[in-house]
Structure 1
């Protein structure tokens, strides 16, 4: 009975995803070790100094929240935080060489092949990735932050619609956004932090 219930829950999660991508192959994934913390309430911030922040865009002009990057010199903390009335269903994160970003022939990023990704429980409004700086392959790298988010009904809290969102940055393919970063000093150059969209 437990196996049937578990299977039903997994099937429901997969069917409720708003992905239109039929390519669910996970071969050749270069998965990384990382920690993910998910929260349903706001309870503090990651340690370290703020390197960058970016709106989490659901359209060209509408944001569902923010993405923050912080560093303590050993780890990079990437925090996805949505506004009231939204929840985070899944996150996908790329930190690496720009030339190594997995893409479709259309130029869109293949988020299902990003090395850092996770699905999240109901009503999660904050997700923190903790990545060792030494695990990022180069001194300077490209950051892409993607999330599947759901708009919630303000009265009932029931899901209204689900959509893709991107940390704002330079256009990458028809839908993606990317940001150049450097891990030590956590900036787009050795002196000034990058604050996209500000």
Structure 2
């Protein structure tokens, strides 16, 4: 069941990213594997700015903690910066949730690390960021990846460990 939910979320992200940015897909023709692409991560307090990316995101999906808690969202944007295309993948928490750790996979479907049963293994995803400080606000983690790192359509598996601000509950989350 977990595998089906995860694959369904990944498929939705791919469908939206491919539908909304078809004109950019032709620019993604590179044979470099995704493990070689460079990325940067930035964090910032976005208190009161929960709708920051909604106008420019080509895909947005809920960040679901446990199996039924809405902890925020994950946005995917393709942005042109001085003639260079980048894919931004942004984790944004809301309410009383904060990010403690993020794991991200972006690339071909066959490259997602999986268990023998086919479930994703987020602990071995290529992109990982740990957080030790609790931030009592909405919080944003943004991955910036060169769009040329991808061929055609690509899959995104966004995993996080989230916690209530007061420390009363912690969950894993998928977006």
TM-score tier, shorter chain, comes to 0.5 to 0.7
3-state DSSP of counterpart to 1:99 = helix
8 Å Cα contact 1:150-1:162 kept in structure 2:
yes
Q: Report the TM-score, using the length of structure 1 for normalisation.
A: 0.60
* Candidates 68, 74, 77, aligned match of 1:70: 77
Runs of 4+ in 1 over 4 A off after TM superposition: 43-46
The root-mean-square deviation of aligned C-alpha atoms, in Å, is 2.4
What's the CA shift string for 1:153-172, capped at 9, x where partnerless? 2xxxxx112211001xxxxx
Q: Which residue of structure 1 aligns with residue 110 of structure 2?
A: 99
Gaps of at least 5 residues in structure 1 are 1-29, 154-158, 168-198
User: Are 2:121 and 1:110 aligned?
Assistant: yes
Q: Which residue of structure 1 aligns with residue 168 of structure 2?
A: 160
Q: Which residue of structure 2 aligns with residue 143 of structure 1?
A: 156
8 Å Cα contact 1:87-1:122 kept in structure 2:
no
Alpha-carbon spacing, 1:94–1:34, altered in 2? closer, same or farther (3 Å): same
Residue 123 of structure 1: how far off its partner (Å): 2.6
1:1-198 alignment runs, 5 A limit:
30=35, 32-42=37-47, 45=52, 49-73=56-80, 74-124=85-135, 125-136=139-150, 138-153=151-166, 159-167=167-175
How many residues align? The count is 133
Q: Distance in 1 between matches of 2:67 and 2:170?
A: 16
Q: Distance in 2 between matches of 1:151 and 1:114?
A: 24
3-state DSSP of counterpart to 1:60 = coil
Greater helix percent: which structure? 2
3-state DSSP of counterpart to 1:50 = coil
8 Å Cα contact 1:85-1:152 kept in structure 2:
yes
Residue 60 of structure 1: how far off its partner (Å): 3.4
Q: Report the TM-score, using the length of structure 2 for normalisation.
A: 0.67
Larger Rg: 1
Residue 116 of structure 1: how far off its partner (Å): 1.7
Q: Distance in 2 between matches of 1:35 and 1:42?
A: 22
Q: Distance in 1 between matches of 2:102 and 2:36?
A: 14
8 Å Cα contact 2:87-2:147 kept in structure 1:
yes
